[in-house]
Structure 1
C-alpha cells in the first residue's frame, strides 16, 4: 500500500499518524509511506528520525479573533493545497490519513479533490478546527472517544477506534520497567509525569506535598519533571521529602515509558489523548490534571471522560495544591479495593487494538472508493 500521513504541530498529532503507518507496514510489508507536514512543527524533526520520507508545506493556523493574519493564512492554505496536489500526484497514494493540526488541512482537502481515499483521526473528545472542516470532505473518520461520534454526522463512515498510540503498549514489559527504575519487581509506585516538556504547576504541587510522602508506607514515587525543570525540581523534592527520600526517584524524562507505565500502580499527570490511550490500555488508575492552556480546553473533556467512568480522578489546575494531590494519592494507594475498581474501569476504556481497527477501516474505505 502507498500511504500519505499528515498531521503535526505537536506530538499528540504526530505519534498517532506514525502508529497508523507502522500498522500498515506490519500488515503489508513493502508498503511505501510519505509524511507531509509543516517545516515549523515537531514533525520536521521527529518523522525523519523514524526513517520516513518527509515533505513540507508552508501553512499556519487560524487565529480565533479577527486579524489580517487570517487573510494570509487563507492564502497559505490555497498555496498549500496546490503544493499538496503536486506531491500527491507524484507519490500516487492509495490512502491519505490526517491526524489533526492545521497542516493536515490542505493535504487532506487536496486528496479529496483528487479523488484519493481519505481518513482523519480525532484524538480528543472535542474535535479540532481542522478536523471539523475536513469531516465534510473525507471518506472516513476514526475517533478516540465515543462522545465524539455524534460530532461527525456529515461523514459516511465514523468509527470509535480509540487512539492508535495505545497499540504500542501491547508489548510493554513491566519487569523491564521496574529494572530501569532500579526497583524490585512488584514494588508499588506512583508515576507522576507532566508531559514531554514537564509541567511547572504539577512540579510545584509535588514539591509542596513532598514532606508528606513518608505517610504512605512501602510506596515508591517516580517524578518525571521534564528536562527544563529537572535540576531545580530534583533539589527541592529531595530536600522536602525528608524520611521518604530513599523512596523517591526524580528523572528529567523516561525513554521506555510503556514499560514504566505498565509497572506503575497509579498514574498522575496531564490528560493528553495519546497518554490516556496508553494508560487505559494498560488499565492503570489515574489522577488527571488537565492543562488549561490547550485549544478548546480539550484536555479537561478528555479527563472527564475517564473520571465519569470511574477510571480516574480529575483535579483542575486552579484547585491543585500539594495537600489536595497527596490526599487523592493516599486515598487510592491506601485502598486496594478502590484501586482495583479504578483499574478495571480504566481497562474497560482501553482499546489496545486501535491501530488494527483503523487499518480495517482504511481497507473498507479504499474498497468502497474504488468500486464506485
Structure 2
C-alpha cells in the first residue's frame, strides 16, 4: 500500500500527520508513506528528519493586510495556486498512491482535491473546533473525514462520513513519570507553572508573564515558574525583568525554547499558553489545568473556539488577547492558586476530553476504507 499525506504550515498540522504516518507503518510495515508539502515550510524539516520521502508542491496563502510587500506575496500566491492543480496531478500520476490523506494547510487542498477527482481513496483530518477553509472545501469530495472535536462535525458539512477521533498525540507525552519529572526540576511540593507562546514567542504573552513573574516574586509564593520566551522574546523579557525588578533563579527559570515539552508538561500543575490544537491535545492527554490565550492572528479565530471547548468542560480559563493585561492574568492565577485542589480538578476535567485511542480509531477507519484485514 502506498500512502501520500499532504500537510503544511504549522506543527499543528504536521505533527498529527506524522503521528498518522507512524500508525500506518505500525499496523502495515510494508506500507510506503510519502509526504507532500512546501520545501520552504516547517514540514520539510520535520518530515525529512522522520525519514519519509518528501514531494515539493508550492502553495501559499493570501495575505489579508494589503501592504506593498503583501501585494507581491499575493501575486506569487495566485501564480502558485494556478499551477497547483497540474502539479498535484503530475505528482499523483507519478506516485499512484492507494490512499491520500490531507491534514491541513494550504498544500493539502490541491493534492486531496485532485486525488478525489482521479478516483483515489481520500481522507482528511481536521484538528480544530472551527474548521479551516481548505478542509471545509474538501469535505464534500473525500471518502472519510476525521474531526478532533464534536463541535467541528456540523461545520464540516458531512456528518454522515465524519468520525470524531481527537488529535493524535506523540507517544512521548504518555511515557513520562510525573514524580521523576518534578524531582529532576527540584520542584518539591511547589506549584509548577509552565508558560510559553510558541517557538518564535508571542510579545503580548511575554509582557504579561513578566508582570506575573514580578508579582510572584513580590508575593514570595511557593512556586516554580518555567517560561519560554521564544526566539523573538529573549531581549524583550530580559529588559522587562530589569524594569520590573524580578530575576531568574530557583523560582523562575527562563529559556528561549522548550526542548523537553513532554517532561515539563508532566511536571506542571498549571500551563499558560496559546490554544493551538496540538497544545490542547497534549494538555488533555496529561490532564493539566490551563490559562489559554488564543492567538488573534489565525484563520477564522480558530484558537478561540478550540479554547472554548476546554473552558466549557471546566478545564481551562480563556483570556482573549484584546482584554489581556498583566493584572488580568495575575488575578486569574491568584484565584486558581487560592482554591485548594482547584488545579487538580481542572486537570481531571481536561483529561476527560482526551482521546488516547485517537490513532487506533483513525487506523480502524482507514483500514475499513482500504478493505484491509
* TM-score calculated relative to the size of structure 1: 0.90
Q: Report the alpha carbon displacement of residue 334 of structure 1 after superposing the two structures with TM.
A: 2.8
Q: Is the alpha carbon distance of 1:296 and 1:354 closer, same or farther for their aligned partners in structure 2, counting shifts above 3 Å?
A: same
Give the alignment of 1:165-314 within 5 angstroms: 165=169, 168-175=172-179, 177-178=181-182, 182-184=185-187, 187-214=190-217, 215=219, 217-234=221-238, 236-237=240-241, 240=244, 242=246, 245-314=249-318
Q: Is the alpha carbon distance of 1:72 and 1:196 closer, same or farther for their aligned partners in structure 2, counting shifts above 3 Å?
A: closer
Q: Report the Cα distance in structure 1 between the residues aligned to 2:128 and 2:276, rounded to whole angstroms.
A: 8
Secondary structure at the residue paired with 1:165?
Answer: coil
Q: 1:365 aligns with which of 349, 365, 369?
A: 369
- CA deviation string 1:149-196 (max 9, x = no partner): 11223364201111113655222333553355x324654200011122
Cα RMSD of the aligned pairs, angstroms, is: 2.6
Which position in structure 1 is the counterpart of 2:113? 109
Pick which of 255-264 and 159-168 moved more.
159-168
Q: Report the alpha carbon displacement of residue 114 of structure 1 after superposing the two structures with TM.
A: 2.0
Contact 2:213 2:252 in 1 (8 A): no
- CA deviation string 1:18-55 (max 9, x = no partner): 11111111222232111001233211222112221101
Contact 1:143 1:149 in 2 (8 A): yes
Structure 1: runs of 5+ lacking an equivalent: none
Q: Is the alpha carbon distance of 1:232 and 1:69 closer, same or farther for their aligned partners in structure 2, counting shifts above 3 Å?
A: closer
Secondary structure at the residue paired with 2:232?
Answer: helix
Q: Report the alpha carbon displacement of residue 87 of structure 1 after superposing the two structures with TM.
A: 2.2
Q: Report the Cα distance in structure 2 between the residues aligned to 1:81 and 1:65, rounded to whole angstroms.
A: 26
Give the alignment of 1:1-372 within 5 angstroms: 1-62=1-62, 76-77=80-81, 79-154=83-158, 156-165=160-169, 168-175=172-179, 177-178=181-182, 182-184=185-187, 187-214=190-217, 215=219, 217-234=221-238, 236-237=240-241, 240=244, 242=246, 245-367=249-371
Number of residue pairs matched by the alignment: 368
Q: Report the Cα distance in structure 2 between the residues aligned to 1:42 and 1:244, rounded to whole angstroms.
A: 31
Q: Is the alpha carbon distance of 1:21 and 1:216 closer, same or farther for their aligned partners in structure 2, counting shifts above 3 Å?
A: farther
Q: Is the alpha carbon distance of 1:267 and 1:75 closer, same or farther for their aligned partners in structure 2, counting shifts above 3 Å?
A: same
Contact 2:225 2:251 in 1 (8 A): yes
Q: Is the alpha carbon distance of 1:57 and 1:242 closer, same or farther for their aligned partners in structure 2, counting shifts above 3 Å?
A: closer
Q: Report the Cα distance in structure 1 between the residues aligned to 2:241 and 2:250, rounded to whole angstroms.
A: 12
* TM-score calculated relative to the size of structure 2: 0.90
Contact 1:109 1:137 in 2 (8 A): yes
Q: Is the alpha carbon distance of 1:318 and 1:72 closer, same or farther for their aligned partners in structure 2, counting shifts above 3 Å?
A: closer
Q: Is the alpha carbon distance of 1:49 and 1:244 closer, same or farther for their aligned partners in structure 2, counting shifts above 3 Å?
A: closer
Q: Is the alpha carbon distance of 1:35 and 1:308 closer, same or farther for their aligned partners in structure 2, counting shifts above 3 Å?
A: same
